[in-house]
């Protein structure tokens, strides 16, 4: 913990300069810990908002990929007309814009599809199992209404089953969720800025006497501001680093399961996405830096 803090202090000194300035403002103890805590809590929340938004993004991507893939056309016809109707359907599909490919499922594949419902020993020959045609859509999709009309005109026994289309609103929802996640991150950032502004302003006002003495001995406002900026930036950085570390452990400990199993269990990070939360502490420090700089500039011009 102290080593982490030393490292962060060195890092900050590199960015904001003179650690002496920090020493000139009396230590604040309790309120300092509050700032660190708030930054930590916000970083913790930000990690989850990030996880949510990344997971929602993955879901949206996968579902829209599935959507692009398949609809089916079911042909229920007497055995002797079956081949002809299948050929007719394939011909129609070839001429339908938005269809990438179409394929009549051979009987054994159809059997495999039915297996979960009827068991492996299904006597396919004796059952009126419909012929299935798998339709691959392009990303833009085809016009299901138009296709249905043409099918009913030319191949009365063919029924278009675009069962995956029900997922379209889900994709939209997942995309919305991703957006909301990103918006939450923005709000968390803004709240952090607001909290740090308040804390910095309070600290500046509480130290009006110290500021007066520093001015007396020839300190420029830039120098005085730096003392506060350094302090709050360091606190935000430390707090956010701890918050992110804890949140990532929490995400890591989420019960693992196949992503397919559901949205909730897929809420972790995947691959290089594990690196994204590491950007939160520097960003938090940046927010603190900007908020404190602005607060200091305002307060110092107001002080006599």
Binding site for other proteins (CB under 8 A): 18, 20-21, 23-24, 26-27, 209-210, 212-223
Short-list 43, 40, 56, CA closest to 270: 56
Give least dist CB 216 to other proteins, A.
7
Q: Which residues neighbour 150 within 8 Å (Cβ) at sequence distance 6 or greater?
A: 92, 96
Give least dist CB 54 to other proteins, A.
46
Q: Which is nearer to other proteins, 17 or 146 (CB)?
A: 17
Q: Which is nearer to other proteins, 167 or 297 (CB)?
A: 297
Q: Which is nearer to other proteins, 183 or 213 (CB)?
A: 213
Q: Which is nearer to other proteins, 70 or 219 (CB)?
A: 219
Give least dist CB 207 to other proteins, A.
10
Q: Which is nearer to other proteins, 27 or 128 (CB)?
A: 27
Give least dist CB 5 to other proteins, A.
20
Report the interhelical angle of 167-206 vs 30-69 (nearest 10°): 170
Residue 8's CB is within 10 A of a number of other CB atoms, namely 18
Give least dist CB 289 to other proteins, A.
21
Return d(Cα 78, Cα 85) in angstroms, integer. Answer: 10
């Amino acid at each position: 913990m102290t080593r982490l803090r030393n490292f962060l202090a060195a890092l900050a000194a590199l960015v904001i300069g003179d650690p002496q300035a920090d020493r000139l403002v009396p230590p604040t103890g309790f309120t300092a810990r509050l700032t660190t805590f708030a930054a930590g809590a916000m970083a913790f929340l930000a990690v989850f908002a990030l996880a949510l938004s990344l997971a929602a993004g993955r879901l949206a991507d996968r579902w829209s990929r599935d959507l692009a893939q398949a609809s089916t056309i079911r042909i229920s016809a007497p055995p002797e007309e079956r081949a002809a109707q299948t050929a007719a359907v394939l011909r129609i599909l070839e001429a339908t814009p938005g269809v990438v490919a179409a394929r009549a499922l051979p009987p054994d594949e159809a059997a495999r599809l039915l297996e979960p419902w009827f068991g492996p020993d299904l006597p396919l020959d004796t059952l009126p199992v419909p012929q299935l045609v798998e339709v691959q859509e392009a990303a833009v999709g085809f016009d299901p209404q138009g296709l249905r009309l043409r099918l009913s005109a030319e191949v009365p026994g063919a029924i278009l089953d675009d069962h995956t289309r029900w997922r379209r609103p889900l994709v939209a929802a997942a995309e919305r969720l991703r957006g909301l996640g990103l918006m939450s991150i923005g709000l968390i950032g803004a709240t952090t800025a607001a909290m740090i502004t308040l804390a910095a302003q309070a600290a500046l006002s509480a130290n009006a006497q110290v500021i007066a003495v520093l001015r007396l001995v020839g300190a420029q406002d830039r120098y005085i501001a730096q003392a506060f900026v350094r302090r709050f930036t360091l606190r935000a950085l430390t707090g956010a680093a701890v918050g992110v570390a804890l949140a990532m452990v929490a995400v890591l400990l989420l019960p693992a399961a196949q992503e397919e199993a559901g949205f909730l269990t897929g809420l972790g990070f995947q691959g290089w996405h594990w690196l994204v939360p590491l950007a939160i502490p520097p960003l938090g420090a940046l927010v603190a830096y900007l908020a404190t700089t602005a607060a200091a500039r305002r307060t110092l011009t107001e002080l006599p």
